[in-house]
Chains A and B, each alone.
Chain A
Amino acid sequence: MIPFNMINTFIGNLGHFALILAFVSALITAYSYYQYTIAQELDKANWRQFSRVTFYIHSFASITVAFALFEIIYNHRFEYFYAYSHSSKALPVHYMISSFWEGQEGAFILWIVWNVVLGLVLIHTNKFWEGPVMIVFALVQAFLVSMILGVVIGDLKIGSSPFILLRDAVSAPIFQINPDFKPEDGTGLNPLLQNIWMVIHPPTLFLGYASTLVPFAFLMGGLATKRYSEWVRPALPWAQFSAMILGMGIIMGAYWAYVTLNFGGYWNWDPVENAVYVPWLIMVAAIHTMITFKKSSTALKSSIVLVIASFILVLYATFLVRSGVLGDSSVHSFTDLGLSGQLLIYMLFFLFIAVFLAAKNWKHIPTSDKEASVYSREFWIFIGATTLALMAFQVILPTSIPVWNALVESFGGISNMAPPADQIGFYTKFQLWFAVAVALLTAVGQFFWWNKMDPKALREALVMPYIISVIISALIIVFGKVYDIPYIIVVLASVFTIVANSSILIKLLRKSTFKLAGGSLAHIGLGMILIGIMFSSGYSEIISYNLSGLTYSNSWEEEMNKEHVLLWINKPTQIKDYTAVYRGRQKKVVGVPGFVNVKQLKSTGEINEAIALEDIMARGRTYFSKGDKVNIVLEENDYFQIDYYKDSVYQFSLNPMSQFNTSMGLISSPDSKRFVNRDLYTYVSAINDYEDPEWREDEFYEVAPGETFYISDFVTTFEGGEVLSQVDGLDLREGDVAVKAKLVVMDYDVEKRLEPVFIIRDNQVGKIAAIDNELGVKVELENIKPETNTFSFKVNRYQKDYVVLKAILMPQINILWAGTILMLIGFCVAIYRRYDEFKKMRDKGMEA
Chain B
Amino acid sequence: MKKGHIIGLGIIAVAIIIIMSMIGDASTYESFSNAKAMKTKGDDKAIHVVGQLKKGQSGNVEGIEINEDKTSFYFLMVDNEGTEQKVFYNEPVPPDFSRAEQVVVIGAYKDQDLFVADKILMKCPSKYQETELKTAGM
Contact = CB atoms under 8 A, between A and B. Distances in A.
A420 B26 contact: yes
Contact of A418 (B28, B118, B129): B28
B21 A184 contact: no
A550 B128 contact: no
Contacts of B30: 416
A565 B70 CA distance: 8
A421 B49 CA distance: 12
A793 to B, nearest CB: 28
B78 interface: no
B71 A386 contact: no
A407 B105 CA distance: 24
Interface string A184-196: 1111101000000
A398 B18 CA distance: 10
A331 B120 CA distance: 11
Contact of A374 (B3, B128, B130): B3
A461 interface: no
Contacts of A430: 18, 21
B40 interface: no
A560 B95 CA distance: 22
Contact of B124 (A550, A566, A665): A665
Contact of A170 (B18, B45, B96, B133): B133
B58 interface: no
B69 interface: yes
A780 to B, nearest CB: 29
B69 A550 contact: yes
B26 A417 contact: yes
Given A183-B137, A335-B129, A685-B91, A421 B106 contact: yes
Interface in B112-126: 118-119, 121, 123-124, 126
Given A170-B131, A390-B15, A418 B91 contact: no
A665 to B, nearest CB: 3
Given A170-B132, A185-B137, A685-B91, A420 B47 contact: no
Interface string A385-425: 01000100110011001000000000000001111111000
B99 A420 contact: no
Given A401-B26, A665-B99, A665-B124, A548 B69 contact: yes
Interface in B48-69: 48, 50, 67-69
Given A386-B7, A401-B26, A183 B138 contact: yes
B35 to A, nearest CB: 12
Nearest to B11: A386
Interface string B54-98: 000000000000011111100000000000000010111101100
A174 B138 contact: yes
With most chain A CB atoms within 10 A of its CB, the pick from B2, B67, B71, B72 is B71
Contact of B137 (A187, A553, A560, A667): A187
Interface residues of A, number: 65
B42 interface: no
Given A171-B131, A184-B137, A550-B69, A418 B48 contact: yes
Nearest to A553: B67
With most chain B CB atoms within 10 A of its CB, the pick from A548, A556, A663 is A663
A686 interface: yes
B27 A804 contact: no
With most chain A CB atoms within 10 A of its CB, the pick from B21, B127, B131 is B127
A376 to B, nearest CB: 11
Interface in A514-561: 546, 548, 550, 552-553, 556-557, 560-561
Contacts of A565: 71
A552 B67 contact: yes
Contacts of B127: 85, 187-188, 190, 663-664
Contacts of A101: none
Nearest to B99: A665
Nearest to B96: A665
B122 to A, nearest CB: 9
Contact of B130 (A170, A401, A561, A685): A170
Contacts of A328: 50, 102, 104, 121, 123
Contacts of B137: 183-187
Nearest to A390: B14
Contacts of A667: 95
A774 to B, nearest CB: 17
A837 interface: no
Contacts of B28: 416-418
Contact of A419 (B26, B45, B50, B91): B26
A67 B131 CA distance: 26
A568 to B, nearest CB: 10
A664 B96 contact: yes
A550 B119 contact: no
B19 interface: yes
Given A171-B132, A328-B121, A560 B29 contact: no
Nearest to A187: B127
Contacts of A383: 7
A844 to B, nearest CB: 37
A686 B132 contact: no
A371 B134 CA distance: 69
Contacts of B93: 686
A719 interface: no
A562 B88 CA distance: 13
Contacts of A422: 46, 118
Contacts of B110: 556
A335 B107 CA distance: 26
Nearest to A549: B69
A668 B130 contact: no
B128 A334 contact: yes
A426 B25 contact: yes
Given A398-B22, A417-B29, A426-B25, 19 more contacts: A85-B130, A174-B133, A185-B137, A188-B127, A328-B123, A335-B128, A418-B28, A420-B22, A420-B25, A420-B27, A421-B45, A421-B48, A430-B18, A550-B67, A552-B67, A553-B67, A562-B72, A668-B95, A804-B70
The 7 closest A-B pairs by CB, nearest first: A665-B96, A666-B95, A421-B46, A686-B92, A418-B27, A172-B133, A416-B29
Interface of A: 85, 103, 166, 170-172, 174, 183-188, 190, 328-329, 331, 334-335, 371-372, 374, 382-383, 386, 390, 393-394, 397-398, 401, 416-422, 426, 430, 546, 548, 550, 552-553, 556-557, 560-566, 662-668, 685-686, 802, 804
Interface of B: 2-4, 7, 11, 14-15, 18-19, 21-22, 25-30, 45-48, 50, 67-72, 88, 90-93, 95-96, 99, 102, 104, 106-107, 110, 118-119, 121, 123-124, 126-134, 136-138
30 contacts: A184-B138, A331-B121, A371-B3, A372-B3, A386-B7, A390-B14, A390-B15, A394-B18, A397-B19, A397-B22, A398-B22, A398-B26, A401-B26, A417-B27, A418-B26, A418-B27, A418-B28, A418-B106, A421-B46, A421-B107, A421-B119, A546-B71, A550-B67, A553-B67, A563-B71, A564-B71, A565-B71, A665-B95, A802-B70, A804-B71
